[in-house]
Amino acid sequence: MKAGIFIEPGKVGIEETAKPTIEKPTDALIRIVRACVCGSDLWWFRGISQRESHSFIGHEAIGVVEEVGSQVTNVKAGDFVIVPFTHGCGHCAACLAGFDGNCLNQESGGNGGYQGEYLRFTNANWALVKIPGQPEDYSDEQLNSLLTLADVMATGYHAAATAEVKAGDTVVVIGDGAVGLCGVIAAKLRGAKRIIALSRHEDRQKLAVEFGATDIVAERGDEAVAKVLALTGNIGADAILECVGTEQSVDTAIKVGRPGAIVGRVGVPQKAEMNTNNLFWKNIGLRGGIASVITYDREILLQAVLSGEINPGKVFTKRFTLDEIQQAYEAMDKREAVKSLIVID
């Protein structure tokens, strides 16, 4: 089979490799239909984080189950499924509490790469999310939205959920990548009345408005703080979705909140140190982490996509074949694409 691999910083490729097989009774073999590039993939693509050369890549996909292990009873061969990056067991304390991203029995992702023709998926009995029907029953647009439920839409929703966004809230979304844009969708889905999106790029600003943003702030740092405070009558926001992970974005998130606001943080932290004193002086809460993909998909997001209530697939602004995987990564690295879609089958 063909599979995407990491070669060295700035370079990925396609390798012919053996098709994976069932190795454990809890495995499933998935034929991948669509995959995509995540903003977190750019960390190792840019050489910021380390990755082993010739390792498989990708962690977001939708596909069709080809075979299951003997202990997998919730899905069967032929089922169309969301293939989340989380591999929750469904019965540990974390999964039962709704934090499957922190499953205490989480296994590595099988053969490790969703950007390929096949994937051995671990903890398959509970972690795979069944989609009604078959891929051919859905439009191209719907397939793209279903694909976002493997990570990016669920991660945006996690920011809103951990920030406890509720009806009537004023929400600030920091970050105009695919996660931030999905955060805008999530804030609207949870009933926010006003959504202020921080974005400096016109194409992303337009998407943010289409998704539900009521205001756009192009400034950064203290200038952005001043603009948000001016927009809110010097009060600040009820909830803040931090979807970047830099020191500046977290600092901004804390400063734009009203006293007692909560920051939902899903931007992967890029610096180990953080000054928490500003949280204390304004009674600001800080929550967030790895998204509960399976839980959110089952409870709200899958139905929201199937009903047409949300259409997060619009974050895919460029599409590629598996053979064009280098171009897919470059498009995101150069900010030519909000998110790169990889059509495999």
Starting from the edge strand earliest in sequence, which strands make up the sheet with 257-265, in order? Answer: 215-217, 194-198, 170-174, 237-242, 257-265, 285-288
pTM assigned to the model: 0.96
SS3 assignment, position 246? coil
- Asked if 186 and 266 touch (Cβ cutoff 8 Å), the reply is no
- Asked if 29 and 67 touch (Cβ cutoff 8 Å), the reply is yes
SS3 assignment, position 337? coil
SS3 assignment, position 146? helix
Of 67, 70, 56, the closest CA to residue 31 belongs to 67
pLDDT recorded at residue 274: 75
If phi > 0 it is left, if psi is from -120 to 50 it is alpha, else beta; for residue 115 that is beta
SS3 letters across 177-192:
CHHHHHHHHHHHHCCC
CA angle 280, 285, 291 (to 5 degrees): 145
Q: Rounded to whole angstroms, what are the CA distances from 227 to 79, 221, 232, 281? A: 49, 10, 9, 21
Fold (CATH) for 2-151+292-343: Quinone Oxidoreductase; Chain A, domain 1 (3.90.180)
Kindly state the tokens that stand for 206: 């337009």
CA 343 to chain centre: 18
Residue 282 predicted with pLDDT over 90: yes
Residue 112 predicted with pLDDT over 80: no
Residues with Cβ < 8 Å from 136, sequence gap 6 or more? Answer: none
Residue 185 predicted with pLDDT over 70: yes
Residue 109 predicted with pLDDT over 70: no
* DSSP class of 116: B
Rounded CA gap, 254 and 172, in Å?
A: 11
Write down the CATH number for the domain with range 156-288.
3.40.50.720
pLDDT recorded at residue 273: 76
Rounded CA gap, 204 and 216, in Å?
A: 10
pLDDT tens-digit map of 229-244: 999 999 999 999 999 9
Confidence of residue 49 (pLDDT cuts 50, 70, 90): confident
Mean of pLDDT values over 279-285: 94
User: What percent of the chain has pLDDT above 90?
Assistant: 91
Residue 110 predicted with pLDDT over 60: no
Residue type, 181: L
- Asked if 249 and 272 touch (Cβ cutoff 8 Å), the reply is no
Of 159, 141, 145, the closest CA to residue 197 belongs to 159
Helix/strand number for the chain, H first, E second: 13, 15
Domain parsing of the chain, residue ranges: 2-151+292-343, 156-288
pLDDT tens-digit map of 28-47: 999 999 999 999 999 999 99
- Asked if 31 and 121 touch (Cβ cutoff 8 Å), the reply is no
Rounded CA gap, 148 and 15, in Å?
A: 25
pLDDT tens-digit map of 121-142: 999 999 999 999 999 999 999 9
What does the mean pLDDT of the chain come to? Answer: 95
pLDDT tens-digit map of 285-337: 999 999 999 999 999 999 999 999 999 999 999 999 999 999 999 999 999 99
Q: Rounded to whole angstroms, what are the CA distances from 202 to 22, 205, 227? A: 46, 5, 18
User: Per DSSP, what are the bridge partners of residue 262?
Assistant: 239, 285
Rounded CA gap, 85 and 104, in Å?
A: 15
Residue 202 predicted with pLDDT over 70: yes
Confidence of residue 113 (pLDDT cuts 50, 70, 90): confident
User: What percent of the chain has pLDDT above 70?
Assistant: 99
Least confident range of 76-85, 146-155, 234-243, 263-272: 263-272
